[in-house]
Each structure stands twice: as structure tokens, then as C-alpha cells.
Structure 1
């Protein structure tokens, strides 16, 4: 389990990132690319991205593991690609060495190139910049406007959720099994980790390419960053872009929004798949995402699995996504 320990000051300083962070999203995209068993929603994207991954970007595979727990200096919370690159390239040498020596051996094999990065070798750092630019162009550049639109819709919904239902419900809904134990936010994760925030609060950052459990970057002198999977992953954004869309489509993706609308009346997974003209496995994936967001409930009735909107899901349908 992931246990995120809040102080009273941290709870008062929960804020949303103002916009998606290109290098943060890029690092998560590379990590998703490397995962053996991603969410079914990402599997086709993963296959295509592996085939077209630029050769100049391959050095990043030495730095970013499938867990996304690589060196933190690679993915600053920045406004725009150029600002992020400037931040990476100006990282103090002491921090670079500490993170490459201390973090990378836990998850990756320290290659000669990584050692040269730690020694601040100029050519190695130029290679890193080329790799970041190439990876961004290959994985995210063409979709960035859609990612921005989904981020805006997600932020509007979560902000409204926070205002209407309070911080406990808003934060617990960011990942599977989210719940509170006093002032500790708990998520179901494969690893047992305790992370204490520093009193500077936490910044919420949704990702369209990460479908794993929430990730936390904690700092001693700055707000922590809580990364979670957005309601609409990147493949659903491409689907939405091909059709006329509503604000709800921007948040959930066209098919997932349609599924939520159908579940105003209780339906089984098979019924949902038939009405949406999708496979049963795809319908199951969509209902899991809606359930994790607390928009629907699921109950087993013999061999059948029945789904229905929660009050929160109905509230979202009746009001739409408003800023």
C-alpha cells in the first residue's frame, strides 16, 4: 500500500498544477512504453509507440524504468517544453550525482553513459537533450493539444468535486482503493511505501499516459507532486478528436462518457458492450476506470456483473464539466 501522510498544513495547501508538464508526461510515457502489461486501453498505443520510437530517444530507456521511478531531475513540473529542458540542463551537479548514484541503481543498470552524465560530460548532456526532444516529438507532440484539453476538463471536474464534496472524497478518488486513515491517504499498490509530506502541501497532476497506481514525488523544501491517471487516457483522446465532442467527452473520452450515460440504468457488462458495440473486455476496462473514479458501482449477481451510476456519476452527467 501507498500511505501518504499529511499534516494539517499540507491539507490546506492542496492545489492543482496549472497545466500539464511536458517532461513529466514524457517520462511517464517512456515508462508506460516499457511496461510489459499495460492497461488494455494503452496496449495499441504501446505497440505503435515501440515501433516508431526515435533512435535518438533510446538513451532515455537507460534512465527511465517501467515503474517511472527514475532520477527526479529529468521531469520537472514546468510550463512548456523549453522551460522544462532549461530546468533539466541547469540541474546542479550535486543533485545529478546524488540521484544517479542513489536512485538509478535501485531500478536500472548504471551504464557508462549514465556515469558520464553524473560526471557532467558535455557530449553526454547534449545527447540527453537530443533524446528528450526526440522522444517528445515522437510520443507527445502531435497529441499535445488534446492532452491540454483533457487536462483542463479534468482540472475543472476535480476542482468542482473538491468544492462540493470536500478534500477527502476528492483525493480518495484519485486511485484504486483510495481511502483515509486519519490524516493518511492510502492507495492499494504493490509496494508498501510510507511518504511523509513536508508541510508545503501537494500539487495534483493528472497524466494521460499513466494508468498505474498513483505516484508521489516528495521534496523537503517544496510541495509534493501526486501523479494519477487521468479519466481519459491518451488513446481515448485520439478517439474523441475524431468526433464532435462535449466537455464530458474531453474528460472521459467519447466511449467512456457514453458508458456513463447508459449506466443511469443498471446494466451488465455484456449489455454495455452490446449497446456500445465494443468487446466485453473493452467494456470491462471502461467500467473499471469509471469505478476507480467512483462514478459507478459494481455488484455481482450470480454469473453476471451489474453496473450503475453513483450519485457522483449522476451529478457529473447532469451538470457537465464546468470551470
Structure 2
């Protein structure tokens, strides 16, 4: 029996709120609960997908993990190779500075991630220079090595970002993220700004780098076709709450939450109209500033009953390795993905 990999990252009960203000004197007008008691784990060497509609809080979760935003409550435990498990929430500056070297982020838009006035050499070398890791000839050799690892010629080293295509710029972003040899890479919609023709190439690159470097990915995305093919486990979010977790193929084949079923039903498929019933949620996503009571999804859920409007369902284990936040998860017969998405880039 193969033993499960230890968790590199554990998110435990994390919450994050934002205060809304309006008017000349910027008076507080409300609160947005962007993250509401979020818990999940990321095993070492795996790829965990974080999915949901726009505004569900998945990108906020990524920024909280990386320290760009501060959690209001909960724990984010990263297993550092030298210091062991470290709770990033409330850790000291020196500890965080050391741990952050093992965690890097790939952002959605390479154009916004790269300073157009800097050469590729300086962009990739920047984290190495700032952290005083390398200098001189060794620094140049490292930049050359990183360019080659992401499939770019060293002759690009002294060019500026505008001289590259969108896919090449994203490869530069990936090279910079790998400069410090991180263990965890948080990829926030890393292919959504790219042409469909090169999305699969980028996914293949990420997968190859993961195998070569034993990387762990938290892959934030809204494209379920990509998540289905690229990730090992999936965490489904809606209005700041985790709705379902489990092994990706199992989640997509047989969802245990009506929201997951609705997400799958909204994906265009090749021949999907011939292969079983598709359930698509109706109505608009409620405002995060005024979410519905009880289960947040109940106004759009075709299976909602009175208890769904009154009581918040707990996120609980329904089957081994499968969690769902639904009062009726054990009894509902939900429909999963029965055919391939029509346009999803498929990595090798």
C-alpha cells in the first residue's frame, strides 16, 4: 500500500474580511467576508486545484497564503525543510522572510508581472540579488539555466518584455518564480491570459518542471476542463466557503455538492448534449457583502429545502477523502462530467 504524502501546506479555519466604505468621509457601510472558515491541505509533490466562480475568494486565498493579505483568523501551516511546521499567521518577520523563500507565486497576467523597463536578465535575477543568494558569474549562469529550463534561449537574456510573445513572457514569470528553488508554487490563473494555442504548452511546462524539481502546486483556476486534467485534488469554493473537496477525477465524475454539479453543467462539452442530463444553476451570484443566510448557494440550488435557508451546512466527510458542505450530500444523485470539455487545453 502506497503511503500518502505528508502535507506541505495546511490551511485551517482561515477567515478574511474587508470593510466597505463610501461617501466623502469614507464611512463604513458594510463588511465583505471574503474567506469564511476555509480549511484544506496540500500534500507535498501534488497539484491541488482551487476552483469556483469569479468572486468566490480563491485568489484572495492565494494572496493570504503568500502574505500579500493578512488572515483575520485561522492557521496557515507550511512545513519548512529547516524549521519544520511554521504557522504563517502571526509568525515573526525573520521567520516569515526565511519561509517565504520556499513559496513563490505565478500571477495571471505576465504583462502586469514584468517591469517593461527591465531586461529579462534583471527580472529573473532580481529575487537572487535581493536575497543575496548569487552574484557575478554565478548569477549569470543561474539566469541562463533558468531560461533554458523554461524553454527560452539565453540570447533573450538582454531583451525587454515587449520583445516577447505572451507565452514567452509567462515563461519568464515562471523562471523568476523558480529562481530561489521553492517547494510550493501558488499559480493564480497562470494560463487564462494566454492564447488557447499556447495554454497546453504552458501546462506541459509546469508539469515537466514539477517532475524535475519535485514542486508542489496550488493551482487557482476557473476553467474546469484544465483543472480536471491538471490537478490531483480539487477544492471547490463559493462566496468564501469551501463547498467540496476530493480527488479531482472523483469530484468531476460524481460530485457530492449541487454547486459542483452546476459548475460542471456550465462547461461546454463535445457531444455533451447526447450524454446525460446537465444541471445548470439559475440566477446571479449574490453579493458577497450581503450573502444569503443558511447555505449561500440555496437561492440558486434546484434541491434547496427549508433547512438550507435557515442552517449553515457543515463541511463534513461524506466518503473517505471526500468532503461536502450540503445537508443532503448523502442522498442526492448528482450528475458529473460525462464527456470531454469542448476547448480545454489538454497537457500530455
TM range (shorter): under 0.3
Larger radius of gyration: 2
Report the structure, 1 or 2, having the larger helix content: 1
Higher RCO (CA 8 Å, separation ≥ 6 residues): 1
Report the structure, 1 or 2, having the larger strand content: 2
What TM-score results when the alignment is normalised by the length of structure 1? 0.26
What TM-score results when the alignment is normalised by the length of structure 2? 0.25
